[in-house]
A and B are shown apart, each in its own frame.
Chain A
């Protein structure tokens, strides 16, 4: 049994060796038991520099470590953040903020109005190359600075004294206070940037003014945060440590939740949704979210250029109720408008046909299809592009068959890698119908409607309507929120009547939240600050 012995020894050696090697890894978990919240994050943040970050995931982490002038409560109401109060001039153009006297950085430095002017100027400075530079487009001179024709110091932001900040707008922007909750407007610490340059976001170097500070970041794995003792509202923070686990696969995330390794998931995989709903009914949180899933038409080329009847027929022939119940099936709301419900001070307009039954819609769609010059012997042949993914494919297949069944349209499905689809959408050369989506940046109808204005770079269908644009411009100069709202709602009505897009459904946020977590609140922005949560530890 020589070989047997030998291989046993080798095996033993391998196992021992492996364990020793593994234990030599970066195991620096807390010796003492601290209340640690484990959250899923669907991808790494690009950056923890608020001016270089862009993704929803970066925002989730940044909202834990930083704080803007304003913030949101658990239920999504606007509340004071680093500013304790503010006044707005009668013309709606000048905002004067008073910072909290006890607002501090994690190293104990006072957070001053000068830090905010530095940060907001840095955001629009072309040298920073910030993705969200346009977040401040409504502030005086912001666009000229980003275009490089004015120096950053000309931005309409001034520190009157250490605690008083004045922001001057070029036009009324009723959603400014909401914008100031966005991480791109968070302050950065000027001295640490001067000292460390681009490396200022490193653990140990990054100063934060939020409830947590950065302890460690292992790209592709985990971001570990610790309580910031210097935070002005530190005594209200219940959880000592937050670990954001980077889990790109929804299935992996679900497995880890079920194995008890996560308190909160970032999502729920579509394939397991029904089982999750049965097994974790009380832990599943589904809430409306500010996002619309849509199919866009390329309006610059045939067959959809100057073909409103065909576009409307295709829009009407889609049974959205079946789509959200049978195909997506995660609690999504069928979309008959462009702006989702739940937006502040706004009542979405709906398609005129939304009141009809699906049979009536189908009948009307057939008439429109015939009016557009198509028939059974001369069917429309169209190409539908979507990015490669199971969900997108299922939706595309369902819609292909609805169009075939109701109208007899011949649809070719083309799936492309996401970046390829984006490039094709932007070029608007070979696209006909394409899948896209829009997630609101702030809680206002403007974030949805403005992208379909002529010249907006995200206007993928290349929709151009003088009537729509003029209504949007008139809304932009209104100080009275009610009058502004009427213009926006009218603009949406005009937009829907032109059918440049087929809104299919409104997104919902989907989280599993462990029964150990208290203080969770569903809200339309899907913001869940760790500082508002607490953990039952028993």
Chain B
């Protein structure tokens, strides 16, 4: 775990250099300010100091857990913004992930069991479609159909209370993952079903259900588990788009806006946060792997 600290430091340093290397500053506008006012603002936000000094100031803040004030949301600190946005992104991501796993694994298993049947072909065609259509196409189509035309579900986030406002964003976010997981599960399940220990289990007279449930499902899940890491990443990046389309104040939206507005502190704060999250998730996946596959535990 200690190895994570130099990685994080490197991420902070690189991100700091990169946001400051981008042309323009957080307070630039077509409405250029008189020099005195510009100087006052630079002073107020320490942008007049040399870069190493700014970096040191920032780093010593980060060490104390202070990610600084946002330049664009001047009434809020970066920690407040992340604190408000992250639970929402997590909620959205967790729901999408659950939906993707449940539907993806079931569909993939069924397809594998009825290999080359019409069911298999339908599921795989749907999966291929799901993978090829990007989120930014699916989401607006769902909105037009279910919210604007049929008015079954709310079109946006703010002002709509309750669970219904989660449905469209979660479904849009989960669809490509459902498709991908279904394909992975199918392929892996077909392999496992053809393996020796499954044949042994069958030879012992177990029915298909029992074979799949007690013997095949667990080993067939290994590729899906290793896909969890990339899936989380895909959901994180996908949430950037979904949050933008539905106007959900999640982390992804702040990340994109922060970058476009040159909100240095906000972008850096989110990068650090994401980096720490990815490190943590990798650790969790490693542990999960060990839990599922006894061979790894023994090594």
Contacts and interface: CB of A to CB of B under 8 A. Distances in A.
Interface of A: 1-4, 6-7, 10-11, 14, 17-19, 21-23, 25, 27, 29, 38, 44, 46-49, 52, 54, 126-131, 133-134, 143, 146-148, 198-199, 201-202, 217-222, 243, 245-249, 251-252, 255-256, 258-261, 417-420, 422-424, 426, 436-439, 457-458, 460
A256 B157 CA distance: 10
Contacts of B230: none
B299 interface: no
A44 B76 CA distance: 12
B43 A129 contact: yes
A133 B40 contact: yes
A457 B37 CA distance: 11
Chain A to chain B: the 5 pairs with minimum beta-carbon distance, closest first: A419-B24, A220-B249, A22-B163, A129-B44, A222-B158
B297 interface: no
A255 B139 CA distance: 12
Contact of B151 (A10, A147, A218, A260): A260
B24 A423 contact: yes
B165 to A, nearest CB: 7
Interface string B235-271: 0000000001111111001100100101000000000
A168 to B, nearest CB: 21
Contacts of A420: 22-24
B163 A220 contact: no
B162 interface: yes
Contacts of A1: 209
A25 B25 CA distance: 36
Interface of B: 22-25, 27-38, 40-41, 43-45, 72-76, 81, 84-85, 91, 95, 98-99, 102-103, 105-106, 109-110, 140, 143-144, 147-148, 151, 154-163, 165-166, 170, 209-210, 212-213, 217, 244-250, 253-254, 257, 260, 262
A252 B151 contact: no
A251 B38 CA distance: 35
Nearest to A58: B74
B148 A38 contact: no
A259 B154 contact: yes
Given A201-B75, A261-B154, A426-B28, A23 B247 contact: no
A259 B147 CA distance: 6
Contact of A457 (B34, B73, B110, B156): B34
Contact of A422 (B29, B244, B246, B253): B29
Given A3-B212, A437-B30, A148 B36 contact: yes
Given A419-B22, A426-B28, A247 B161 contact: no
Given A27-B162, A133-B37, A198-B75, A256 B155 contact: yes
Contacts, number: 205
Contacts of A29: 161
Given A221-B157, A245-B156, A246-B158, A3 B209 contact: yes
A22 B140 contact: no
Given A23-B162, A247-B156, A261-B154, 8 more contacts: A130-B37, A134-B34, A218-B158, A218-B249, A220-B249, A422-B28, A439-B31, A457-B38
Contacts of B43: 126, 129
B254 A220 contact: yes
B40 A129 contact: yes
Contact of A219 (B84, B159, B210): B84
B74 A52 contact: yes
Contacts of A19: 163
Contacts of B74: 46-47, 49, 52
A245 B23 contact: no
Contacts of A47: 73-75
B18 to A, nearest CB: 14
B36 A247 contact: no
Nearest to A223: B158
Contacts of A7: 102, 105-106
Contact of B103 (A11, A143, A439): A11
B100 to A, nearest CB: 10
A410 B159 CA distance: 51
Contacts of A249: 244-245, 247
Nearest to B28: A422
Contacts of B72: 44, 46
A46 B155 contact: no
Nearest to B244: A249
Contacts of A251: 140
Given A46-B74, A260-B151, A423-B28, A219 B81 contact: yes
B213 A3 contact: yes
A380 to B, nearest CB: 26
18 contacts: A3-B209, A4-B106, A7-B106, A11-B102, A18-B98, A19-B163, A54-B29, A126-B43, A127-B44, A143-B36, A146-B40, A218-B158, A220-B250, A261-B156, A419-B22, A419-B25, A439-B31, A457-B33
B159 A243 contact: yes
A392 to B, nearest CB: 13
A184 to B, nearest CB: 12
Contacts of A247: 156, 247
Candidate in B23, B209, B213, B262 with the most chain A CB atoms within 10 angstroms: B23
A2 to B, nearest CB: 4
Nearest to B74: A47
A21 B37 CA distance: 47
A252 B247 contact: yes
Given A198-B75, A261-B156, A219 B148 contact: no
Nearest to B253: A220
A198 B44 CA distance: 13
Contacts of B248: 220-221
Nearest to A20: B163
B143 A255 contact: yes
B73 A46 contact: yes
Contacts of B31: 439, 458
Candidate in B32, B110, B254 with the most chain A CB atoms within 10 angstroms: B32
B73 A219 contact: yes
B159 A222 contact: yes
Contacts of B143: 255
A11 B106 CA distance: 10
Candidate in A4, A17, A29, A219 with the most chain B CB atoms within 10 angstroms: A219
B76 A219 contact: yes
Contacts of A201: 75
